[in-house]
Amino acid sequence: MTHSDVAQLFRTVKDCVPDFNPMFLMSDEANAFWNGFVEVYPNCSTRRLWCRWHVLRAVGKMADELLDKYTAAIVKETLKETISEPDVTRFTKQMTTFLDYLEEPSNKGKKYADYLRKNYLS
């Protein structure tokens, strides 16, 4: 599905439901869906959310590429638990502890920690 396809979808939604104004819009990490939505609703206050399953798949794939098998398994399990934490304070503490763990020289996870910061924590 392309950005243009999604824009057409949301033009139809706008015609059928003129007051459509969602608080959130969840999709995968591809920009086509979000860009199509914003084209039709350029001044909206809707917040973009990424699907948890897609995020876990992407960070898991990168863990397999950047880390040894043992560390990648720990990373995937830890992120699965951490990403489910609804309390912002606890989430922040868990993520900080996790990033510190990755950056310990014996874990060789600095590149992965940098990847998480750049793509998900900025």
Confidence tier at 122 by pLDDT (50, 70, 90):
confident
Mind giving me the DSSP string for 51-91?
Answer: -HHHHHHHHHHHHHHHS-HHHHHHHHHHHHHHTT---HHHH
Structure-token pair, residue 102? 């990755």
Segment 17-31 mean pLDDT = 93
Query: Do the beta carbons of residue 10 and residue 40 sit within 8 Å?
Result: yes
Q: Quote the pLDDT of residue 106.
A: 83
Structure-token pair, residue 64? 């397999």
Torsion of CA 50, 58, 33, 5, to 10 degrees: -160
Segment 11-22 mean pLDDT = 96
Provide the whole-model pTM: 0.79
Q: Quote the pLDDT of residue 82.
A: 95
Read off the pLDDT of residues 33-50 as tens digits, 9 standing for 90 and up: 999 999 999 999 999 999
Query: Do the beta carbons of residue 22 and residue 48 sit within 8 Å?
Result: no
Q: Quote the pLDDT of residue 107.
A: 77
Residue positions counted in the chain: 122
Looking at the chain, the whole-number percentage of residues with pLDDT higher than 70 is 100
CA distances from 78 to 11, 33, 72, 86, 89 (A): 40, 29, 10, 15, 17
